[in-house]
Amino acid sequence: MSDNSLRLVWIYPDLLSTYGDQGNALVVERRARQRGLDVQRLDVRSDQQIPTSGDIYLIGGGEDRPQRLASERLIRDGGLSRAVSNGAIVFSVCAGYQILGHEFINDLGERQQGLGLLDVVSTRGEAERCVGDVLADIDPQLGLPPLTGFENHQGVTHLGKTARPFAKVRFGKGNGVGDGYEGAWNDTVFGTYMHGPVMARNPHIADLLIKLALDVNALPPVDDTWYEALRQERIAAATTPA
């Protein structure tokens, strides 16, 4: 990328965009423009080829059948995997998170191959569905404030040796394994179960992706008044007994 431009790719909005996850693309785009960047945003539908020249790729959540179709098409296309090999940043949510792993359970009850971009494996949980507000502490290595989001999933995601937990849960279920971890990341690939949309609740995650794309340590400050009000409201909701 050039010093003043950012190529943002929203993957399969026709299949993977539940719970307002497309809002993540809106937040990344806005916060980049607030820093004077020329943002080129491309929404790629499932019948289109994934470009390999993007800087940041975003994937949302979806129902079981669309998730299976998305995984099949992403594997067949190969563009996202090639982009990651070239250093692109990927942030995925819920079904998109599972797709980035080695495998998950599809709508037919079968093990479905994923992209293998994260060292995780997802199965179908037998316990109560994970639903509700979440508050978690993001991996200190990423230098971000606490994570707030909304989870709604039956999936259980197990991390392999090369995947780092994205966050440690204070309230909520996270990956559903029972170890208190939420999401996973490795190098430039991130996955989480958090909806909300997660970028609106946690704009510093959007800033992190932009910094990684620009290869800089800091960005010019912007007005976070609206975001911080939403953050505090949702943090209170997560920590207040029902």
* Residues with catalytic roles: 94, 195
Residues 6+ apart with CB under 8 A from 96: 11, 16, 21, 59, 60, 61, 62, 70, 191
Helix (H, G, I), strand (E, B) or coil at 173: coil
Rounded distance between C-alpha atoms, residue 223 and residue 6, angstroms: 20
List, in sequence order, every beta strand (DSSP E) within 60-119. Answer: 89-93, 103-105, 111-113
DSSP state of 146: P
Q: Which residues are annotated as a binding site?
A: 129
Binding site, annotated residues for substrate: 129
Q: How far apart are the first and last CA of the chain?
A: 47
Sign (positive or negative) of CA dihedral 174, 191, 212, 165:
positive
